[in-house]
Amino acid sequence: MHVTDWLPTLYALAGGSASKLRNVDGYNVWDTLSSGKSSPRQELLHNIHPSGGEAAMRYGQWKILVNAGKIKQDAVCYRIGHF
């Protein structure tokens, strides 16, 4: 669950239709939390460091790291399994 998923999830729990929310990046993930169903989210932004420039993002079974580790590299991509 990403922080952007809170609004549509809580809105739907309160009886609203999350699909009517505009300009929201999040998903209603209540079925994932309550029933263990697959998440509708395929991507997850882990971090963007404001001063160091390090970043990490996951999409499906892939994770990309930018400027990570002791040796700053442009980007490293890993296959880590199913999301």
pLDDT per residue, tens digit, the chain (83 aa), is 788 899 999 999 999 988 888 888 889 999 999 999 988 888 888 878 887 778 888 888 888 888 876 666 677 777 876 54
3-state secondary structure the chain: CCHHHHHHHHHHHCCCCHHHCCCCCCCCCHHHHHHCCCCCCCEEEEEECCCCCCEEEEECCEEEEECCCCCCCCCEEEECCCC
- For residue 83, the model assigns a pLDDT of 44
Which residue is listed with tokens 């395929």?
Answer: 42
